[in-house]
Amino acid sequence: MPSLHFTPLLLLIPLLLLPKARCIPQGVTAIIKPSGSSPPGCVDTYPGPFGFQPVDHPSPTTETQCIQPTSLKMLLNKGLLVDHLGRIGSIVANRQFQFDGPPAQAGAIYTGGWSLCSDGLIALGPSKQFFACKSSDFENIYDSMIADYCRPIFLEMVLFVEC
């Protein structure tokens, strides 16, 4: 009986015949909004860049800050919140508010439905309420109370000026 000899080349040939795999970015490309409309007095488009600061109690005036290289500058267009790097503001699978992509992070719950209200607060769908949860020496922002150590907050608009 003849003996069979395998060479490394013979083992490689089937691999060369396989179709080439393509990397396709994973993520959410759809605009997903919470149910319900924005609160009265809120608009889903704003004409220029702005920032926000988390506050325990809304103030009656909009704060103005000097723009810094590290400032998070946001634009709001038809309910889509985008930062100055083109990333999409979304609520991701663990209920955290963050900017990703594009596309938004895989598993994102909401990618749209943002609005800016006449009282200077940012809303998501019908709610102006968010939650800050301590994580090490900073706080993450969520759209729902994910733990007992979280506290209710509002996201207050900040206008930027050149100083």
Segment holding 156, helix H or strand E? strand 150-161
C-alpha to C-alpha distance for 14 and 11, rounded to whole angstroms: 7
Q: Are 157 and 119 in contact (CB under 8 A)?
A: no
Give the strands of the sheet with 42-43, arranged side by side. Answer: 42-43, 114-117, 122-124
pLDDT at 35: 96
pLDDT at 118: 95
Would residue 62 count as lying in a domain? yes
Would residue 146 count as lying in a domain? no
Would residue 6 count as lying in a domain? no
Q: Are 125 and 31 in contact (CB under 8 A)?
A: no
Would residue 116 count as lying in a domain? yes
C-alpha to C-alpha distance for 136 and 50, rounded to whole angstroms: 27
Would residue 117 count as lying in a domain? yes
* Domain ranges, residue 88: 42-126+155-161
Q: Residue 41: left if φ>0, alpha if ψ -120 to 50, beta else—which one? A: left
C-alpha to C-alpha distance for 76 and 82, rounded to whole angstroms: 7
Residue with tokens 């990703």: 100
Radius of gyration of the chain (CA): 23
| Number of domains forming the structure of the chain | 1
Residue by residue, pLDDT tens for the chain (163 residues) are 555 554 444 444 444 454 555 656 678 999 999 999 999 999 999 998 999 999 999 988 888 999 899 999 999 999 999 999 999 999 999 999 999 999 999 999 999 999 999 999 999 999 999 999 999 899 999 999 999 999 999 999 999 998 8
Would residue 133 count as lying in a domain? no
* pTM of the model as a whole: 0.82
Q: Strands 80-83 and 74-77: what pairing?
A: antiparallel
pLDDT at 26: 77
